[in-house]
Amino acid sequence: MVNHLTELPEWIGDLKELRWLNVSNNQLSAVPTSVQQLKKLEWLHLGGNHLTDLPEWIGDLKELTWLNVRHNPFTVDGMRSLLELKDKKKGKVDIYFSEIEVRVKEHNLPMKEPLKMDL
């Protein structure tokens, strides 16, 4: 399912207790700075948007431990921003960037499994 949000409202940053945010499958081309105010955010799903990179401040979200950015057209610099995030968080964040097909041996069926970026 594709949604049509092209931006998030600035008041999203006022949700100080927010721990999970799913804005996947929209039309976002940038992560709004208001998300920077979500100090308790642990889980952020940005998959299926139009992101080409991530803002530097995303690594300052101290509680963030899970980030999904699959199905975004990341540039080379955008890929670099993912590496920098992983470094800044000292490996304490799981970043899901792509999918790989895996075969379930018992049934020989294709299955999608997230590719976890372990750097």
Please list the pLDDT of the chain residue by residue as tens digits (119 residues). 668 999 999 999 999 999 999 999 999 999 989 999 999 999 999 999 999 999 989 999 999 999 999 999 988 888 888 888 888 888 788 888 865 333 333 344 444 444 444 44
pTM of the shown model: 0.79
Q: Where are the alpha helices (DSSP H) in 1-119?
A: 76-88
Q: Which residues of 71-104 are buried (b: 16+ CB within 10 A; e: fewer)?
A: bbebeeeeeebbeebbeebeeebbbbbeeeeeee
Task: State the residue for tokens 């008041």.
Answer: 11
Query: Distance between CA atoms of 103 and 60, rounded to whole angstroms?
Result: 38
Domain 10-116 has CATH 3.80.10.10: yes
**Domain ranges (residues) in the chain:** 10-116
